[in-house]
């Protein structure tokens, strides 16, 4: 079966990938797969068991888990084995553990297989860390989305403040630096820019400008594909 048109967006934590990918997918009528949410879902499931983290347990849960997405307005709702986990997978407990879970080769193998299956179902945008390098290396439309650490911390801080939470900006920056390091230095599928990805630094761009740039690129690449 022929793949649909796959748009691959990779980049570090807090670069705005999910907001941008969701909006671009809605504009194009494509499905959107937030692969970070998939690693978060496995982490959530592991925490639900009450057992301590081990690569074996994480791998087994990743093979068993059923993850699905449903867009609802400005939300991309996430379901694990039928339970809605949209908010739960953003908790501090999940965020604190997810990089370790995502570094387990058996977890990555199971997630990549699911992502490829979803990508075969039609036109799709996926965002993550290894989409253009590992999951869909043949994608004709790859973007590496990033922004300065300061700007990423500022955006995340604003989100938290909007939810009424107190924000420690120094700690936010330190957390982002530490997650970048874990994601870029892990052995299996580290975060890196694919050679043929378009580099987009969004530090001084609005969301609409970034979405516009991606739609333009997608239109050019679709003509060529
Ligand atoms: O984008 P995010 O913060 O929701 O990602 C959560 C974690 O999952 C992050 O530590 C990186 C990891 N991840 C990954 O290793 N590969 C992907 N394709 C997507 C996310």
Q: State CA 129 to chain mean position distance.
A: 7
**Tokens at residue 162, please?**
């909007």
Measured in angstroms, how far is the CA atom of residue 36 from the centroid of ligand 1? 4
How many CA atoms does the CB half-sphere of 71 hold within 13 Å? 17
Nearest CA to ligand 1 atom 13: 36
* Mean pLDDT across 15-23: 93
Looking from the CA of residue 37, the nearest atom of ligand 1 is 4
Residue 111 CA: nearest ligand 1 atom is 18
Cα(37) to centroid of ligand 1, in Å?
A: 7
Residue 81 — left, alpha, or beta (φ > 0 → left; ψ -120 to 50 → alpha)?
Answer: left
Indicate which residue's Cα is closest to atom 20 of ligand 1: 36
E strand segments, the chain:
6-10, 31-34, 67-72, 75-80, 83-84, 124-128, 141-146, 198-201
- Residue closest via CA to ligand 1's atom 6 equals 36
Entry pTM: 0.93
Residue by residue, DSSP assigns 79-130 as EETTEE-TTGGGSHHHHHHHHHHHT-HHHHHHHHHHHHHHHTTSSEEEEESS
User: Ligand 1: which of 6, 17, 21, 36 to mutate, most ligand atoms within 8 Å of CB?
Assistant: 36
Instruction: Give the helix/strand (H/E) hosting 194.
Output: none
What confidence tier does 160 reach under pLDDT thresholds 50, 70, 90?
A: confident
183 lines ligand 1 (CB under 6 A): yes
What span, in angstroms and rounded, lies between the C-alpha atoms of 53 and 35?
A: 20
Instruction: Give the model's confidence band at 225: pLDDT under 50 very low, under 70 low, under 90 confident, else very high.
Output: confident
Distance set, CA 197 to CA 139, 179, 190, 204 (Å) = 10, 22, 15, 20
User: What are 178-213's pLDDT values in tens digits?
Assistant: 889 988 998 889 999 999 999 999 999 999 999 999
For the chain, percent helix, then strand, then coil, each to nearest 5? 55, 15, 30
Residue 95 CA, closest ligand 1 atom number = 6
Output DSSP code: residue 197.
Answer: P
Q: Is the dihedral of CA 108, 114, 117, 121 positive or negative?
A: negative
Structure tokens at 84: 């809605």
Report the chain's mean pLDDT, rounded to a whole number.
94
Read off the pLDDT of residues 39-83 as tens digits, 9 standing for 90 and up. 999 999 999 999 999 999 999 999 999 999 998 888 899 999 999
What's the pLDDT at 1? 44
Whether 44 lines ligand 1, by a CB cut-off of 6 Å, is: no
CA distance 179 to 225: 35
In whole angstroms, what is the distance from residue 53 CA to residue 5 CA? Answer: 37
What was the pLDDT predicted at 2? 58
């Amino acid at each position: 079966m022929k793949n649909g048109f796959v748009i691959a967006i990779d980049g570090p934590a807090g670069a705005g990938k999910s907001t941008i990918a969701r909006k671009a997918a809605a504009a194009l009528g494509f499905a959107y797969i937030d692969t970070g949410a998939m690693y978060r879902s496995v982490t959530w499931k592991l925490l639900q068991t009450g057992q301590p983290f081990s690569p074996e347990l994480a791998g087994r849960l990743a093979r068993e888990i059923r993850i699905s997405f449903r867009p609802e307005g400005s939300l991309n709702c996430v379901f694990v084995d039928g339970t809605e986990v949209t908010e739960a997978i953003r908790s501090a407990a999940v965020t604190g553990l997810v990089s370790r879970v995502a570094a387990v080769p058996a977890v990555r193998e199971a997630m990549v297989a699911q992502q490829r299956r979803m990508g075969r179902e039609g036109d799709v945008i996926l965002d993550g860390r290894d989409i253009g390098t590992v999951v869909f290396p043949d994608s004709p439309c790859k973007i590496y989305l990033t922004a300065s650490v300061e700007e990423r911390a500022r955006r995340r801080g604003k989100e938290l403040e909007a939810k009424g939470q107190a924000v420690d900006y120094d700690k936010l920056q330190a957390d982002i630096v530490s997650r970048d390091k874990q994601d870029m230095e892990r052995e299996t599928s580290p975060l890196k820019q694919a050679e043929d990805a378009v580099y987009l630094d969004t530090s001084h761009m609005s969301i609409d400008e970034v979405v516009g740039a991606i739609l333009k690129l997608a239109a050019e690449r679709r003509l060529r594909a």
